[in-house]
Copies of this chain bind each other. A is one copy, B any other.
């Protein structure tokens, strides 16, 4: 618990320690146990030991509980693109950014696996995920242009990076146990290079 989090929750109303995280965990449990459609906001709040009002201070609806991390991810990715060495090419900068956010997911492997299973099972959630990925690609392209990368190189590098992320993420969440997301992303980048160069993958 950091001072920032406490201040944030206080600013939103009654202080509930880590309300956001508890709501996310409660939602994932209930979606897994009884299904996404069958779960209500009231049930999520109850499972988390919080009120519906607290739920709606943090999330617009039960779908958004699954997508709450998007803004943080976008901030981290664009900051990492900005921080990449001057010598890095556009796709290298994107690869460095994805590498930098790997640990954010890695420590939540089981939670990511449960979340992914719920998303894959529902068309409306898959669509929301596509929108999130498109938003990330747009943000990455913007961060590359800030580095002086022209178009269409900036958009192509961003879209290619997000394709790598998507495919590596799916493979990673497909595997139980100790699978390594950063390793999966590095392998997918290598495969993309091989595919683009027209040579067979190693």
Least CB distance, A114 to chain B, in whole angstroms = 22
Which among B134, B157, B171, B199 is the interface contact of A152 at CB below 8 angstroms? B171
If the complex has contacts A134-B130, A163-B160, are A153 and B91 also in contact, measured as CB distance less than 8 A? no
Binds B, one of A37-45, A103-111, A187-195: A187-195
Q: Does A74 contact B (CB under 8 A)?
A: no
Which residues does chain B contribute within 8 Å of A187, judged by CB atoms?
152
Which residues does chain B contribute within 8 Å of A199, judged by CB atoms?
89
Q: Does A78 contact B (CB under 8 A)?
A: no
Which residues does chain B contribute within 8 Å of A198, judged by CB atoms?
89, 91-92
Least CB distance, A95 to chain B, in whole angstroms = 10
CB-defined interface of A74-93 with B at 8 Å, one 1/0 digit per residue? 00000000000000011110
A191 to B155 Cα, complex, angstroms? 10
Q: Does A150 contact B (CB under 8 A)?
A: yes
Least CB distance, A139 to chain B, in whole angstroms = 15
CB pair B196 A167 closer than 8 Å: no
A92 to B166 Cα, complex, angstroms? 22
CB pair B127 A160 closer than 8 Å: no
Which residues does chain B contribute within 8 Å of A127, judged by CB atoms?
127, 130-131
Which residues does chain B contribute within 8 Å of A167, judged by CB atoms?
152, 155-156, 159
User: In this complex, which of A127, A160, A188 has the most chain B Cβ atoms within 10 angstroms of its Cβ?
Assistant: A160
Which residues does chain B contribute within 8 Å of A176, judged by CB atoms?
none
If the complex has contacts A152-B171, A163-B156, are A195 and B134 also in contact, measured as CB distance less than 8 A? no
Known: A89-B199, A159-B159. 14 other contacts (CB 8 A): A91-B195, A91-B196, A127-B130, A152-B171, A155-B163, A155-B167, A156-B167, A156-B191, A156-B192, A157-B195, A160-B195, A160-B196, A193-B197, A196-B196
- Residues from 150 to 202 in A contacting B, C-beta threshold 8 Å: 150, 152-153, 155-157, 159-160, 163-164, 166-168, 171, 187-188, 191-201
